[in-house]
Amino acid sequence: MRNNSSHLRNEPFLMGKNHFRMRSYSFLMRNYLWRMGNCNFRMRNDSFHMGKDLFLSTLLVNF
């Protein structure tokens, strides 16, 4: 009985840690893509922006 209650108490903490890790990973990916886009500043066009936004939206939906 005591172990069951402690398990229920610890579960939200573990879920929160996992959620934070996923958020930080998506933030790093967004940062990397933003820097990659700045490196390609001269080659920018509408199709590149559309592809980057589509990729970012799929990342944010997954996380």
Q: Per-residue pLDDT tens for 10-25?
A: 555 555 666 666 677 7
Task: Give me the residue spans of the domains in the chain.
Answer: 2-62
Q: Whole-angstrom distance between the N-terminal and C-terminal Cα of the chain?
A: 35
**Confidence at residue 15, expressed as pLDDT on a 0 to 100 scale:** 57
Name the more confident of 32 and 8.
Answer: 32
Return the biggest CA–CA distance within the chain. 65
The CA angle 33-36-39, to the nearest 5 degrees, is: 155
Q: How far apart are CA 26 and CA 23, in angstroms?
A: 5
What is the tens place of the pLDDT at every residue in 15-62? Answer: 566 666 667 777 777 777 777 666 555 555 555 666 677 777 777 676
**Confidence at residue 56, expressed as pLDDT on a 0 to 100 scale:** 72
**Confidence at residue 14, expressed as pLDDT on a 0 to 100 scale:** 55
